[in-house]
Amino acid sequence: MKRCDEGANLEIMTHEDAIELSEFYKMVGDSNRIRLLYLLIDKEICVHHLAEQLGMSQSAVSHQLRLLRQQRLVKYTKDGKKIYYSLDDEHVKTILNIGLEHLKHREE
């Protein structure tokens, strides 16, 4: 493998892109959000039920959903009083699975 210890600039991505990427990854950097996202794989679930399943308050779940919405990891559809959330991006599912693979690697 190439070894570098001085000289030319190696950086291939802008600081701005790094910040944007990190904001996306932060979303899967919290265990409650991870559990929430796993619940949403192949299903849509309303807020109340998410809170119940996760053992979190309605308010806490709602705050987290706002973050996940902002980063476009989840989307929703309304149905009367209820709002059903689901994953917004296949990449999310892929990333969750790769994380599990990495855990296996760590256990070796």
Partner DNA sequence: AATACATATGAATAGTTGTTCATATGTTAA
Partner DNA sequence: TTAACATATGAACAACTATTCATATGTATT
Chain residues in the site for its own copies (CB under 8 A)? 1-6, 9-13, 15, 17-22, 24-26, 28-35, 38-39, 42-46, 48-49, 52-53, 71-72, 82, 84, 86, 89, 91-92, 94-96, 98-103, 105-106
17 binds DNA (CB under 7 A): no
80 three-class SS: coil
Q: Contact, 73 vs 65, CB < 8 A?
A: no
Q: Contact, 74 vs 68, CB < 8 A?
A: yes
Q: How many CB atoms lie within 10 A of CB 2?
A: 4
Smaller CB distance to DNA: residue 48 or 91? Answer: 48
Contacts (Cβ under 8 Å, ≥6 apart) of 45: 39, 53, 84, 85, 86
Give dist(CA 36, CA 22) in Å, integer.
19
97 binds DNA (CB under 7 A): no
7 binds DNA (CB under 7 A): no
Smaller CB distance to its own copies: residue 61 or 92? Answer: 92
Interface ranges with DNA (CB under 7 A): 26, 29-30, 32-33, 46-49, 56-60, 62-67, 76, 78, 80-84
